[in-house]
Amino acid sequence: MNDGPVRLGILGFGNQGSNYARYITEGLVPDMVIGAIADTDPTRLVAARELHPNIPLFENGISMMDSGQVDAVITCIPHYEHPQAGIDALSRGLHALVEKPAGVYTKQVAELNAYAAARPQLTFGIMFNQRNNPLYVRIKEIIDAGEIGAIRRSNWIITTWWRPQGYYDQSAWRGTWGGEGGGVLVNQAPHQLDLWQWICGTPRSVFSKVGYGFRRNIAVEDEVTVLADYGNDVTGVFITATHDLVGTDRFEILGDQGKIVVENSAVATVTRLTKPERQLSDEVAAEDISRALSGKLDPADLYTTETIQFDSRWGSQHANVLQNFAANILRGEPLLAPGADGITGVRLANAIHLSSWTGRDVPLDFDEDEYIGELNARIRAEGSFVERA
């Protein structure tokens, strides 16, 4: 374990990388300093020099990692490059914090996970900042404690990702299979795919209907509807899109002794039944059926309701993940988001794609080579990017 603040190497000085640098310089990450910044784009290095004049700059990640200026690296680069950058850092004895998603397909993420597992002395994390959102932390505590009973159904509509056509047109790699590796599932919704599984568990299989270039001139998905099967008649639905101008963010979790409804990822209403729902149903006397159907039973006899809301300043969740990452390096504090967990969201996104491509129900232990074959067929059709192995 290190003795002083962790010197972070920021690989990629775009939107996320520049934000992380700002959080550190503003003192939001007490155990961390900027060790160096690397970017292959000269214009971004100019911007980095203006904002951070005393920080060493490098034209590529390898030279930064070999410089001796950093103890750890965060990968703020295109999705396909995350796994190899993580391996490059770990192979040099550097701690690695991977941006979401951990990669585009499970095979490459599994290689990163295996490489990290063989080096337990190094810290390996992923930027799942929403696991640090106090609202979702509390919801997970409630469910894990059995306060709403066993989950019977969950559904999340998250369509607040509206992106105009110009967003995709600004870069040749956006909205492509070869450059981005997917659309809303890979770029906008990885946090929700992670939270859904973190809170409700991993489904056994999925069946999906996906629109590719549905309302945008892109190759990848901008409309997704998923039916998840958890076994034992437990189901889940996930809907997301980038063409809904108004947008909805509503997450419902129904248990056999209660329900949680989250609106706009900000306010949760928790209903706790006084008894399991089946027991309440069986105890309704014949003479009370008409009152039950008209909603005239006394709510106090049936359930209690709690509203949960936290103040969560923008940027604080990301900064707290950085601080937790540094604290793990320095003092061994448990990670909020271990890097190995990054594969769960990638696996789910891959299964959703594969289901829509093949028109069948796809188990979460799908054939990785089949997925890569389908992905490469789409990359070949674009004719602008290298295929993947």
| Three-state DSSP string of 228-280 | EEEECCEEEEEEEECCCCCCCEEEEEEECCEEEEEECCCEEEEEEECCCHHHH
Q: Are residues 215 and 350 part of one domain?
A: yes
What mean pLDDT is predicted for residues 106-113? Answer: 98
Considering the domain architecture, whether residues 27 and 112 belong to the same structural domain is answered as: yes
Determine, yes or no, domain membership for 366: yes
Q: Average pLDDT of 280-301? A: 87
In terms of domains, do 353 and 257 share one? yes
Q: Has residue 388 been placed in a domain?
A: no
What's the distance, Cα to Cα, between the start and end of the chain in Å?
Answer: 36
Residue 140 makes CB contacts below 8 A (sequence gap 6+) with 198, 199
248 and 319 in a single domain? The answer is no
Model confidence at 315, pLDDT cuts 50, 70, 90, reads low
In the chain, which ranges are E strands? 6-11, 32-38, 57-58, 72-75, 95-98, 124-126, 151-158, 205-212, 221-231, 234-241, 249-255, 258-263, 267-273, 303-309, 362-363
The token pair that represents 382 in the structure block: 């674009």
Give residue 78's domain range.
6-127+315-337
pLDDT (0 to 100) of residue 2: 62
Residue 97 lies in a domain: yes
For residue 377, tell me if it sits in a domain: yes
pLDDT above 90 as % of the chain: 92
Q: Is the dihedral of CA 120, 193, 23, 45 positive or negative?
A: positive
Q: 381 is written with which tokens?
A: 């059709």
CATH of the domain at 229: 3.30.360.10
Same domain? 326 vs 363: no
The pLDDT tens digits for 136-165 are 999 999 999 999 999 999 999 999 999 999
**CATH for 329:** 3.40.50.720
- Say yes or no: 36 and 141 in one domain: no
Domain-embedded: residue 307: yes
318-372 pLDDT, tens digit each: 999 999 999 999 999 999 999 999 999 999 999 999 999 999 999 999 999 999 9
pLDDT average, residue stretch 170-197: 96
Distance CA 208, CA 67 (A): 46
The pLDDT value given to residue 291:
85
**Total number of domains constituting the chain:** 2
228 inside domain: yes
Res. 312: pLDDT tops 80: no
Q: Which residues lie across from 9 on neighbouring strands?
A: 36, 73
Amino acid at residue number 206: V
Is there a single domain that holds both residue 121 and residue 168? no
Same domain, 205 and 319: no
Do 121 and 195 fall into the same domain? Answer: no
Same domain flag for 191 and 227: yes
Helix-then-strand count for the chain, H and E: 14, 15
Tell me if 387 is assigned to some domain. Answer: no
- Does any domain span residue 230? yes
Position 314 scores a pLDDT of 53
Whole-number mean pLDDT of the chain? 96
- Same domain, yes or no, for 146 and 278? yes
Residues 198 and 114 in one domain: no
